[in-house]
Structure 1
Amino acid sequence: MVNEIILNDTSIRVEKYNEEIENGLHKIDIEFKVMSEEYHDTTVLLYEGSFDVKVPETGLVFRGTIQQYSTSITNLYEKGQVGIFTLTLLELKN
């Protein structure tokens, strides 16, 4: 089970991970928790849209972009809250 991915040198602990090949390109689906204290930094990172993606446990490395992104409806502006983020990253063609 993969427990961590790295997006642009930022480590993210993942709760769920799925990896596949789609049209010859790597695609990963992840789910991870975001605490209210991490919300701002996490969303600023995700707004970048494209990332150097690393999966240390498998050695997978690619340049990818967000294909799909969603969050739980948790109000992360309230202290002590935890939201669930779901993210699909697709490798960019060279």
Structure 2
Amino acid sequence: MSIRSTEAIPVYLDTLQLNALQFQHEQVSHSIQEKSRHLLTFDFVITGNQEYHDVTSHLYGQTFDVKVPSHDLHFKGTIHNYSTSVPKLTTEEDTVNVHLELIEIQE
């Protein structure tokens, strides 16, 4: 099953809330024997130098308690893919675009 949304959706990584844009949820597995896992793909925008520091510092943890309340999703996940636009944060109004993919880890 795949879910896509073009509206902003709150995604929580532990207690950090991100407003996910271009949100996509899939169930993936690499083999018949492997249990399917959640894969979330989305973009979000960071505004200002302090928010950039706070978010990127949190992302360095790499493993999170992932919650998407609007889609009744809750799992332990890790960063599968991550990229940003070139950060040019000279004022608190400047923005950085972030692309993030999270995959469920088996416990």
TM-score (norm 1): 0.93
Q: Which runs of 5+ in 2 are unaligned?
A: 30-35
2:66 counterpart of 1:60? no
Whole-angstrom CA distance in 1 between matches of 2:40 and 2:19: 14
The aligned counterpart of 1:40 is 53
Match of 2:53, SS state, is: helix
Q: What is the DSSP-based 3-state SS (H/G/I as helix, E as strand, rest coil) of the residue aligned with 2:56?
A: helix
Partners in 2 of 1:15 and 1:91 — Cα distance?
A: 20
Over alpha carbons, which structure has the higher Rg?
A: 2
Count of paired positions: 93
| Structure with more contact order per residue of length (Cα contacts < 8 Å, sep ≥ 6) | 1
TM-align CA RMSD: 1.1
Secondary structure of the corresponding residue to residue 14 of structure 1:
strand
Instruction: Extract structure 1 runs of 4+ deviating beyond 3 A.
Output: none
Q: What is the TM-score normalised by the length of structure 2?
A: 0.82
Q: Distance in 2 between matches of 1:51 and 1:57?
A: 18
1:26 pairs with 2:38: yes
